Structure 1
Amino acid sequence: MRAVVSRLRRTLRETSGTSDLTPSQTAVLSRLINDGPASASALAAAERVRPQSMAATLAVLEQHGLVGRRPDPEDGRRRLVDLTEAGLGLIADSRQAREEWLAREMEERYTEAERATVLAALALLDRLNRR
């Protein structure tokens, strides 16, 4: 199961149009879209990396124009990292490309009964994530 999920994730990542980004960079973008703006130290803690590693990741994302920094409204000494319009666009385009690829492949490769089986299996697997 792990091997199949890993191959599917790899294929989805290749389909997404973010292949020039590392998994760490993509994880930061996903975290920002899901959780909102955060400090570099909070991102480092959430991703379980050293602050120096997060600084390097954020520097690349800033060079690509995908994230920016702004003062924290609650603490002016601290800066928050947030997605730029380009970052939001990249995430939206990436998600759309993955969803379209998956829908097309499911439609072309599986019968209606097989799609129903896949959906049933996903519901069972989803229970593994619920605690």
Structure 2
Amino acid sequence: MDEEKDDVAGLAARAAHDTRVTFGRLRRRLLEVAVAGDLTPSQASVLARLGKSGPASTSDLAAAERVRPQSAAKTVAALEAAGLVERHPDPSDGRRQLVTLTERGLERHRGERRARQEWLAGALRERCDEAQLRAVVEVMALLDDVAGI
């Protein structure tokens, strides 16, 4: 019985390691696909976060991106200079500024998301048969469930 628990624990540890490594590689590859040469990975990440989560303060973005507030402020300033984001007073606290996507920023976010989706779908089609694609869908549902714990 203890041997079975050890086997399961070892298998879970390997699955956790392999998942983490693979998702890291996949994330980097998706960023390469989506980021046109004029945005840094940090800028692309903030653009994606705003597209997914909506308006946020620079300090909220810094916390979410796990960077210093000064770094987030530089990233936001560069995105603002490129016309991809704009700042507005927070309706609930006029002292705070919320960063939002401009129409151009929203279009860029959607285009990059579409490019990532198309690249990944093509890569999966090239390498997987129908049974493997179904397995990927099942595993992603399981991992989504684990992430929601």
Q: Please indicate the TM-score interval, normalised by the length of the shorter structure.
A: 0.7 to 0.9
Structure 2 partner of 1:73: 91
Report the Cα offset of residue 94 of structure 1: 0.6
Do 2:33 and 2:115's aligned partners in 1 also have CA atoms closer than 8 Å?
yes
Do 1:43 and 1:54's aligned partners in 2 also have CA atoms closer than 8 Å?
yes
d(CA) in 2 for partners of 1:26, 1:17? 6
Report the Cα offset of residue 19 of structure 1: 5.0
d(CA) in 1 for partners of 2:22, 2:96? 42
1:10 to 28, 34, 59: 28
- Equivalent residue letter for 1:65: G
| Shift in alpha-carbon separation, 1:48–1:102, aligned structure 2, 3 A | closer
1:41 to 40, 56, 59: 59
Give aligned-pair identity as a percent: 55
Do 2:35 and 2:41's aligned partners in 1 also have CA atoms closer than 8 Å?
no
| TM-score w.r.t. length of structure 1 | 0.84
Do 2:35 and 2:44's aligned partners in 1 also have CA atoms closer than 8 Å?
no
Q: Which has the higher helix share?
A: 2
Stretches of structure 2 that go unaligned for 5 or more consecutive residues are: 1-17
2:135 to 110, 117, 122: 117
Moved over 4 A (4+): none
1:62 to 71, 74, 80: 80
- Equivalent residue letter for 1:130: G
Report the Cα offset of residue 72 of structure 1: 2.3
Is 91-100 or 25-34 further displaced after alignment? 25-34
Local SS of the residue matching 1:77: strand
Local SS of the residue matching 2:88: strand
- Larger RCO, structures 1/2 (Cα 8 Å, 6+ apart): 1
Do 1:68 and 1:82's aligned partners in 2 also have CA atoms closer than 8 Å?
yes
Q: How many residues end up aligned between the 2 structures?
A: 131
d(CA) in 2 for partners of 1:23, 1:128? 27
